[in-house]
Amino acid sequence: MFRAFYTCISLLLIFGTSLAQTSAPKFSNEFLSIGVGARGLAMSGNQVATVSDVTAGYWNPAGLLNIEDKYEFSLMHAEYFAGISSLDYAAFATPVDSSSHIALSLIRFATDDIPDTRFLYDANGAINYDNIRFFSAADYAFLVSYARRLPILNGLRLGANFKVVHRIAGNFANAWGFGLDVGAQMDYKGWNLGLVIHDVTGTFNAWSHNADLVFDVFTQTGNEIPSNSIEITLPKATFGVARYFPLHAKFGMELAVDFVSSFDGRRNVLVKSEVISLDPSAALEMDYKQTVFLRFGAGDVQEVKDFDNSTYRTFQPNFGLGFAIKKVTIDYALTDIGDQSESLYSHVFSVKAGLN
């Protein structure tokens, strides 16, 4: 079984590497890299091998097959940059039959009430603050997830996401995009293995710009007039391994390690090359009777240059708690969006409920 799982990993990575040769921006649709669910955020995203609830529609669709309830819901709200931006998430999952599951997920990351000062000066050249208008820059993602067990390989679970992306920058520009994620999970001698490749076929965003609204301002300031274009998000693969250790009749501990691989050249991560960059992370979750949870995570290792041109490494620690009361679970995370130089940690809460 382990050999079959390794074969799946190899084939998917070869496909993702070949597609990465396409010319595309290094950072695209980055709002989909933040994460959802306070449990996953507290554990620095180490969910690929162990996710077993409705949030699997985001982390690894194959994990949907671990859901025990007939219906499962999840909601999350988080604010970043001292409340300037917000992330909202809602999801629903239900079985199709005894060997397959389906889920729907909605993500919105936005900065609202941005001042538009193009009309700040009136016809007489005087400042009129009543002329200030406001707009939002918002990113939306809608995911349809499907997971199925394969009878040929006992323990192997496969899943896929079809996602639609809609990005808005006021009336100035908007984009529609679509893409596909694939994932797998497997249990092997007490170890949990997981693999997910986001944007396995490349996610295509078609941008439409309303250049007439900014033509005069951009011409006066010497900026390039934007034009309609297509943006491609290249594949990114995450391999995860985890194991649960019972410590006592009432206590347990789960250790998880993830390795995020990107194929778009050198990135500021722990292991980097011109072809593949590798960003590892680790997490620990301790529980009491599977009711109270204490979580830690560490990842996002980066090399930072100091004022004297010397460099040093930083990493992002995360912390979280969880409480399960019958079919309702409330999770909390203290996490950052990834800015270690001036950390703006956010308090994130999410709730999950199951119904039969």
Tally the domains of the chain.
1
**Structural domain of 22:** 2-355
**Apex 343 CA angle, 342 and 348, nearest 5:** 155
Distance CA 72, CA 97 (A): 15
User: What pLDDT tens digit does each residue of the chain (356 aa) get?
Assistant: 444 444 444 444 444 444 444 446 667 888 898 999 999 999 999 999 999 999 999 999 999 999 999 999 999 999 888 788 899 999 999 999 988 999 999 999 999 888 888 778 777 778 888 888 888 899 999 999 999 988 777 778 999 999 999 999 888 889 999 999 999 999 888 899 999 999 998 888 888 888 777 777 777 777 777 777 888 888 999 999 999 999 888 999 999 999 999 888 888 888 888 888 889 999 999 999 999 999 999 988 888 877 887 888 888 899 999 999 989 999 999 988 755 545 578 899 999 999 98
**DSSP-derived secondary structure for 64-118:** GGG--SSEEEEEEEEEETTTTEEEEEEEEEEEEETTEEEEEEEEEEEEEEEEE-T
| Cβ atoms of residues 337 and 327 within 8 Å | no
- CATH number of the structural domain spanning residue 266: 2.40.160.40
Quick: pLDDT tens for 16-67. 444 444 446 667 888 898 999 999 999 999 999 999 999 999 999 999 999 9
- Helix, strand, coil fractions of the chain, as percent rounded to 5: 15, 55, 30
